[in-house]
């Protein structure tokens, strides 16, 4: 069964064509920096590696470019779209409607659209990807895999907000949690590596960032909540703020509600602190002495450290922390900032191991560290393929 996975992020598209159940990756690639003048495109097969820098204005143009490459006469891997059995779509928010992998129909698309108000950086991109995929891969099953599903095990004491009860029972306002596909994948890899169901904190750091407390393989708390906007400092999102700030911006400074929403989601975070949203640019400027960038990186790490303490308390212990996703896997600088002076939690980083680049699961802690510090490359596409295959098989 050939399954193409489309993972549309807020500023990127990752894709893989996977042969199931062997999990053979026929083709893979990514487009990042969507919306900028210099978007990066990669397209990789067993015999081809294409890297290109070009302007890609939006997700629709990006997906059309990917489809063009897949069926290219010279470097393509399929001759006809009928070779694709299914398209697996990562969808960030399933709300209270979807708690498991789901075959997409018009009702499912309508619910995804409804939830776009909560995740304006994500669900609209997913829906666009679904609509384009339906046109291109017309004979394939379209399947949605939801980031919120993994967090259904969060207990009520953690997912309920201290607001009137009716807002939960009638309006379904609660913590939903996000990046669940990634957190599920890396935590299962960690448990397999450690050979026990441990107390784990998974730290997913990309343009969007989140942390999950995972006990006995289940999510029990998560930094994001009703929408993927709170918690850690992100590329353009503020993360945690005092909610009274919203009313101050509106009532005193004259912002509209739409302007505040745009400010907190698209103009804040590392972008608001430094003028850059990409951590590679921020680290480069920090190394050259940019004080704003140096402070932003310190603030980013400080927020992560606070949540490590919080989740160690919630689980009454800590066996391992996992760094994953683009920043978590590749930024030795952020990992060093997070793990330095954390010996109270049994976290001791080995600086030499931390600087080693690898695509394998690895420990970067010292031999004396009581808590394992692990770098585990996430593979949301393989996790999505597993879930799509299992659904269609049944």
For residue range 29-77, list pLDDT tens digits in order: 999 888 888 899 999 999 999 999 999 988 888 888 998 899 898 999 9
For residue range 245-276, list pLDDT tens digits in order: 999 999 999 999 999 999 999 999 999 999 99
CA-based nearest residue to 340, from 325, 329, 351, 330: 351
pLDDT of residue 185: 95
Q: In the chain, pLDDT over 90 holds for what percent of residues?
A: 76
How confident is the model over 177-199, as a mean pLDDT?
A: 92
pLDDT of residue 96: 83
Q: Does the annotation flag 207 for ligand binding?
A: yes
Name the fold adopted by 2-146. Answer: Nucleotidyltransferase; domain 5 (3.30.420)
Question: How many CB atoms are closer than 10 A to CB 120?
Answer: 16
Q: Does the annotation flag 379 for ligand binding?
A: no
Active-site residue set: 147
pLDDT of residue 218: 96
Residue 203 pLDDT level (bands cut at 50, 70, 90): very high
Contacts 24+ apart (CB under 8 A), 245-254: none
Is pTM beyond 0.75 here? yes
Q: Tokens in use for 77?
A: 């891997």
**Structural domain 195-375, CATH architecture:** 2-Layer Sandwich (3.30)
For residue range 346-359, list pLDDT tens digits in order: 999 999 999 999 98
Alpha carbon separation from 270 to 105, 250, 291, 301 (Å, rounded): 37, 23, 13, 12
Domain boundaries, the chain: 2-146, 195-375
pLDDT of residue 129: 86
Please return the burial class of 316, using the count of CB atoms within 10 Å of its CB with bins 0-12, 13-18 and 19+. Answer: exposed
The yes-or-no verdict on residue 166 having pLDDT over 80 is yes
The yes-or-no verdict on residue 197 having pLDDT over 80 is no
Q: Does the annotation flag 251 for ligand binding?
A: no
């Amino acid at each position: 069964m050939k399954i193409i996975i489309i993972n549309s992020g807020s500023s990127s598209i990752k894709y893989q064509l996977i042969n199931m159940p062997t999990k053979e990756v026929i083709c893979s690639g990514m487009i990042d920096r969507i919306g900028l003048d210099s978007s990066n495109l990669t397209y990789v097969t067993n015999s081809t590696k294409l890297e290109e820098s070009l302007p890609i204005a939006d997700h629709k143009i990006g997906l059309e470019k990917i489809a063009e490459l897949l069926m290219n006469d010279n470097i393509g891997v399929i001759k006809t779209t009928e070779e694709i059995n299914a398209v697996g779509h990562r969808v960030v928010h399933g709300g209270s409607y979807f708690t498991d992998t789901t075959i997409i129909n018009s009702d499912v698309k309508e619910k995804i659209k409804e939830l776009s108000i909560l995740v304006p950086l994500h669900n609209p991109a997913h829906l666009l990807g679904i609509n384009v995929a339906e046109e291109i891969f017309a004979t394939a099953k379209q399947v949605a895999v939801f980031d919120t599903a993994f967090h259904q095990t969060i207990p009520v004491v953690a997912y309920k907000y201290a607001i009137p009860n009716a807002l939960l029972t009638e309006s379904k306002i609660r913590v939903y949690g996000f990046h669940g596909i990634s957190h599920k994948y890396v935590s299962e890899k960690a448990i397999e590596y450690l050979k026990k169901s441990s107390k784990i904190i998974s730290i997913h750091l990309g343009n969007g960032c989140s942390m999950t407390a995972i006990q006995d393989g289940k999510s029990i708390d998560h930094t994001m909540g009703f929408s993927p906007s709170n918690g850690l400092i992100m590329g353009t999102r503020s993360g945690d703020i005092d909610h009274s700030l919203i009313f101050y911006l509106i009532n005193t400074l004259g912002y509209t509600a739409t302007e505040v929403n745009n400010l907190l989601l698209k103009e804040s975070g590392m972008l608001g602190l430094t003028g850059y949203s990409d951590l590679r640019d921020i680290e480069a400027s920090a190394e050259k002495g940019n004080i704003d960038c140096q402070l932003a990186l310190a603030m980013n790490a400080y927020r992560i450290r606070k949540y490590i303490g919080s989740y160690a308390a919630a689980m009454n212990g800590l066996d391992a922390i996992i760094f994953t996703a683009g920043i978590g896997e590749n930024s030795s600088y952020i990992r060093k900032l997070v793990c330095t002076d954390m010996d109270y939690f049994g976290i001791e980083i080995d600086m030499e191991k931390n600087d080693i680049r690898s695509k394998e699961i690895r420990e970067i802690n010292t031999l004396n560290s009581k808590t394992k510090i692990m770098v585990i490359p996430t593979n949301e596409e393989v996790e999505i393929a597993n879930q799509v295959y299992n659904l269609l098989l049944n």
